[in-house]
Structure 1
Amino acid sequence: MATTDRSPDNLPEGDALAAKAIGPASAGVKNLPRRAIGIDVGGTGIKGGIVDLPTGELVGDRYRIPTPKPATPEAVAEVIDTILHELLHRKGAPSPDDLAVGVLVPGIVIDNVVLSAANVDDSWLECDAGQLLAELPGQIYTMNDADGAGLAEARYGAGVGRTGTVMTITLGTGIGAAMVHDGVLVPNAEFGHLEFEGEIAEKVASASARERADMPWDEYGRTVGRYLKHLERIFPPSMFIIGGGISKRSEDFLPYVEGLRAEVVTAQLQNNAGIVGAALYAAEQTALTDG
């Protein structure tokens, strides 16, 4: 599929105005640095990388450290500090004077404050991550982990060139969701916590739910399909992108996802999506702040 130029100068008049009304992260933001750093806080590991923003590719290998137990904000901040120190001393790292750092957190994040802790230590509730990480170098911005993955897939992965609403669904311990509309992220879509078939959705359709129930792949695919139909009735997208670790086995269950109006595809960036999306988000926020 050919990539559509969605910069404000090449959009129809109405869409151009929408792109200039920049949301949390938008393809209309210009003058980004060449590189930024993304850090993804997960339940088992915290990983970071240097991202080349024009291509969305990592510069060198990811650097990963196991998530501390318990994963309190203070303990996680120490690991982030260590990862950032390692990356900044690598060849090709951004200059400290022009450094944007994005950090993904597994929870609702508004203005750098964490407002949910469904799959993370309860001590994160009401934590101001901006203050927590304020002593680290660079301009640091935090966002929901699924939002980071979804933003990366929309800009660099399976959603490139798609207009309208692209929804990324990550299937793992829980279910993460991200919506990007015409290049603008609509943040904190907690669709894994919707009621679905009498339960919280992630208790029925997540990868961990499949493992707990020892569910055959064909049955799991049909379950995911019903869940996506449920989402389609509420927030109909033009495309569903299926991510999370289980996406590596998409051929085992996606053939059983049928009857949807939206196209259903597998995420392309996989384990690097969060890092890439975090770096892009931080670079765009820095550009908006400085601009």
Structure 2
Amino acid sequence: MTPEVIGIDLGGTAIKLGRFTVDGTCLKSLTVATPQPATPEAVIAVMVDAIAQLDPENQAVAIGVGTPGPADAAGRIAKVSINLPGWHDVPLADALEAKIGKPAIVANDANCAGLGEAWLGTGRHFQNFILLTLGTGVGGAIILDGKLFIGHYGAAGELGLISFNPNGPICNSGNQGSLEQYVSVIAIRRRTGKEPAELGALAKAGDAKALTFWQEYGRDLGTGLTSLMYVLTPEAIVIGGGVSASAEFFLPAAKAEIEKRVLPTSRVGLQILPAELGNSAGMLGAAKLAWQKVRGGSGRWGDGEMGKITNDQ
């Protein structure tokens, strides 16, 4: 019997689950609504029920979960989520292990998306890249020397929360004028009164106002990425999330802004590319973590094989 793991992407409105083989093939997937209010107890109950539906024969050997906020460095605790009420130091891995009886590991959802893209998506071509997910919020992941970088306590890589405008809108994180407040879906709605998909369709139809908006959006994104370029000098920036569907309309402006603002020595050979895995990246990355856990990772992010991205599984 082929071994399988379950990868879970927990979002504010939906929970996506998939059953994956060791080479990343998704055998079956399921999406369920996130309970409202999304208290830890309610979410765990829905997850347990969904896992039973996804894996009725109880074949999975481990579970990986991506959550919308930082996890601890050991991958056990969902530390905080600014978009889920009551989520502070939730022992999510322990709770799932107690109810399911399988090893579990927890990570930030954008980090999971980064792992997914590094494994089987756009990032597989690079050892050093950053992923930016442009969705309801803005998440990020940093891959350095083929390993996910999460910092000393597990919370590094919150790229959407960097300061962009000191006098800008207040962010749920407590920051003011974070990059998220300018390039997220919520920011786009606030600026235009429209959804990103609507603006993308208008731009495709040649609407001048929509095209101008995406130009301005691209300049803002490029300006925000400038800070990350100077700190990390990645080989590539991978752009994911729902807004990336309109990348053709804003990436040229973002690239031009980076070229204008960043010294050539800090952007040698830089590529800015759309992510390949779409909405499945988070599930896939969570599954990758689950495989690493059962294959003898150290249990701490970034140590040895635990944080290493390999394509031989």
Q: What TM-score, normalized by structure 2, do the two folds share? A: 0.75
Q: Aligned residue for 1:210?
A: 188
Q: 3-state DSSP class of the match of 2:125? A: coil
* Structure 1 residue corresponding to 2:8, chosen from 26, 39, 53: 39
Instruction: Find the residue that maps to 2:276 and give its secondary structure.
Output: coil
SS at match of 1:195: coil
* 1:63-142 mapped onto 2 (5 Å cutoff): 63-89=30-56, 95-96=59-60, 99-110=61-72, 111=74, 112-121=76-85, 123-133=86-96, 134-142=98-106
The runs of at least 4 consecutive aligned structure 1 residues that moved more than 3 Å come to: none
| Mapped contact 2:129–2:144 kept (Cα < 8 A) | yes
Aligned residue in 2 for 1:53:
22
- Number of matched residues? 250
Q: Give the structure-1-normalised TM-score.
A: 0.81
Deviation for aligned residue 1:131:
2.5
Mapping 1:275-290, distance limit 5 Å: 275-288=283-296
Structure 1 counterpart of 2:218, one-letter code: G
Identity over aligned pairs, percent: 34
Q: Does 1:170 align with 2:123?
A: no
3-state DSSP of counterpart to 1:142: strand
Extract unaligned runs of 5+ from structure 1: 1-32
Distance 1:203 1:230 in 2: 16
Name stretches of at least 5 consecutive residues in structure 2 with no aligned partner.
167-176, 193-209, 259-266, 299-304, 306-313
For residue 225 of structure 1, report the CA deviation from its aligned partner: 1.0
The one-letter code of the counterpart of 2:70 is I
Distance across 1 between alignment mates of 2:285 and 2:178: 27
Q: Say whether the 8 Å CA contact 1:43–1:67 is kept in structure 2.
A: yes
Residue 270 of structure 1 deviates from its aligned partner by 0.6
Alignment deviations for residues 40-70 of structure 1 (CA, whole Å, 9 cap, x no partner): 110110110112331x23113x201111100
CA distance in 2, matches of 1:119, 1:64: 19
Asked if 1:153 corresponds to 2:117, the answer is yes
1:126-168 CA-to-partner distances (Å, cap 9, x unmatched) read 11112222321321111100000000001110011312x2111
* 1:248-281, Cα deviation, whole Å (9 max, x unpaired): 2211211221244221100000100011000111
Alignment RMSD: 2.0
**1:194 offset after TM fit, Å?**
1.3
Distance 1:256 1:289, change over 3 A: closer
1:235 Cα deviation (Å)? Answer: 2.2
Asked if the contact 1:73–1:132 (Cα under 8 Å) also holds between the matched residues in 2, the reply is: no
**Residue 250 to residue 53, structure 1, CA distance change in 2 (3 Å):** farther
Aligned to 2:197: none
Amino acid at match of 1:247: S
Report what 1:238 is aligned to: 235
User: CA separation in 1, counterparts of 2:297 and 2:114?
Assistant: 23
Question: 1:228 aligns to what?
Answer: 225
Counterpart amino acid of residue 166 in structure 1: F
TM-aligned CA deviation for residue 34 of structure 1: 4.7
Report if the CA contact (8 A) 1:155-1:183 is conserved: no
Which letter maps to 1:202?
A: E
